[in-house]
Amino acid sequence: MSNLVTKLPRPTWHLLAMAALGLLLLSGFILLKDGGQGASAASTPGHAAISADVQAVLPGTRGELITSTSGYNGEGRILAVEVPRDLAVTEVGNPYAVADAAWRIRLLAADLAADAPDVTGYQLSSTGVSPAAISPAVVGELTGTLPPPAATQELRKLGSASPEATRAQLESNIAVLRKGASGAIDNVTIESLQLPDTAEHTAFAINVESGNVAKLKPFLGDIFVGLQTGLVGSENAVIDGLAIVLSEGSKPIAGSWIATRALTGAILSSPDFPMPESMAITLPFAASTNGPTPQGTATLGATSEEPQSTG
């Protein structure tokens, strides 16, 4: 399995970067309410629990499992998440918030599918926001189909490290980055996402803040690949997901989002901060878990694309 940040082909990256502004506006699919029938449906939480899980990973939204015929095995269920109109309109101009929202729901859908194989995808929508303004390419890209269970069988180490061990690994990676890029990083924040079912279903969202991101350009490989050490990035991943956003002050300028069980990754950068196709890992990251140990130069599957403005 290749590095998950680079797994998707160029057209997918292009659509994420160029069309992410419409993500929270997605609506218009013909789906049926799930009646909770069948053995597979019984293995997943009820409506109230699903809504609570969605709220936990993406506050201000609501969700449910609904039936669909678009899965890899015919009829199945998808995680449908409703974004309030005011939140959708507020966030639609921020491609980083949009990409982050999609990542969180993708994580949750893949987590549910680990116990209920008939959960085959996810969808974000917002009632009251017309889909007419959204191009067909965006609509097609901004729902997600999960891989069939057989495709994730190589992820044998997933969940093998405790939340405490993976948090320690992440903090060690950040310490290496801070030391190597001395003076260029103002602050690093970590958010832990506890997914349902077991304590080992864990993901982290990191925000690296700098007052002068130009000083960090030699360390982009260390930020977006080196910080994956011992955590994600190959079939040896031990956690469900990792999001990394680089900000200049409070303004995001580049980000990556990996969802391990969904076998997807996304990368996005602003027009004035293009991401190179190749990024070298220059700092001595070390894995204390039995997770991935990326080294050398990482080659992305696509060049960075400029997010569009709404003005």
Per-residue pLDDT reduced to its tens digit, 199-211: 668 999 999 999 9
Per-residue pLDDT averaged across 91-112, rounded?
83
CA distance 97 to 93: 9
- 237 and 108 within one domain: no
66 or 231, higher pLDDT: 231
CATH number, domain with residue 201: 3.30.300
Q: Over range 60-73, report the average pLDDT.
A: 78
Q: What is the pLDDT of residues 1-45, one digit of tens each?
A: 433 333 333 223 333 332 222 232 222 222 222 333 333 444 556
Are 136 and 250 in the same domain? no
| Mean pLDDT within 74-101 | 76
pLDDT range class, residue 71, cuts 50, 70, 90: low
Per-residue confidence (pLDDT) for residue 6, from 0 to 100: 33
Predicted pLDDT at 27: 28
Whether residues 111 and 169 share a domain: the answer is no
Instruction: Count Cα atoms within 13 angstroms, Cβ side, for 304.
Output: 20
| Residue at 105 is within a domain | yes
Q: Which residue has the higher pLDDT, 33 or 248?
A: 248
pTM over 0.75: yes
Map tokens 């499992």 to a residue. 65
Residue 277's pLDDT is what?
A: 82
Domain around 268: 163-299
Q: Does residue 304 lie within any of the structural domains?
A: no
Question: Residues 121, 67: contact at Cβ < 8 Å?
Answer: no
Number of domains in the chain: 2
Q: Does the pLDDT value for residue 224 go beyond 90? A: yes
pLDDT tens sequence across 251-280: 999 999 999 999 988 888 888 888 888 889
* Candidate from 43-57, 186-200, 284-298 with smallest mean pLDDT: 43-57
**What's the pLDDT score for residue 199?**
64
Q: Are residues 189 and 101 in the same domain?
A: no
Q: Is the same domain home to 185 and 290?
A: yes
Residues 123 and 252 in one domain: no
pLDDT digits (tens, 9 = 90+) for 126-163: 776 655 544 333 344 467 889 988 899 999 999 999 99
